[in-house]
Amino acid sequence: MAGGPGICPRLVCLGQIGAAHGVRGEVRLRSFTADPAAIANYGPLESEDGRVFEIRTLRPAKDYFVATFSGIADRSAAERLANTKLYVPRERLPEPEEPDEYYHADLIGLAVVDRAGRQLGTVVAVHNFGAGDLIEVQPAEDAPTQLFPFDAVTVLDVDLAAGRLVVEPPVGRE
């Protein structure tokens, strides 16, 4: 699965700013793109609050990049950016290369049905807590959301054109 967590269905999170690095406005930057250095190729990035960020420089470090952004010239300004997530509109991203590869933003809003076509709910989020992707499904009735593994055993078909996922719910979640 490509992409990362999103703030709305049409924005895709490409990275997150970490701590300030040095005194000249540099920051640590984690990239969530398939090719981590490609984060600089998508044009202006935006934060959850609508601020726009343009990457001026990007260089690799241990397991992150050191970046500078236009308009950020000192450590104080860089420190205020810590933990800022950076997004682009989904339309700016290339289509996934593999047939079973999806952006999280493409899955959010899809109807979730079982093998018999019974409506189970709607995908409201995609999470990864370290053990693989999970889809969060909001049932049609006013019930708590459920998490299903996003794997070949549980998700039988993803039909973006039809706007639905066909799932085999884990035992006890029918």
User: Is 62 a domain residue?
Assistant: yes
Query: Which segments within the chain are labelled E, that is strand?
Result: 11-21, 26-31, 45-46, 52-53, 55-60, 65-69, 85-89, 111-114, 119-128, 133-138, 146-149, 155-159, 164-167
End-of-domain residue from the set 92, 124, 150: 92
The pLDDT tens digits of the residues spanning 70-119 come to 999 999 999 999 999 999 998 888 888 888 888 888 899 999 999 999 99
Q: Is the pLDDT at 14 greater than 60, yes or no?
A: yes
Q: Which domain holds residue 121?
A: 108-166
Same domain, 69 and 142: no
Instruction: Give the separation between CA 45 and CA 13, rounded to whole angstroms.
Output: 9
pTM above threshold 0.85: no
End-of-domain residue from the set 34, 62, 92: 92
Q: The domain that contains 51 carries what CATH number?
A: 2.40.30.60
Same domain, 49 and 113: no
User: Is 102 a domain residue?
Assistant: no
End-of-domain residue from the set 46, 67, 92: 92
Number of structural domains, the chain?
2
Q: Please tell me which of 24-33, 99-108, 125-134 the model is most confident about, judged by mean pLDDT.
A: 24-33
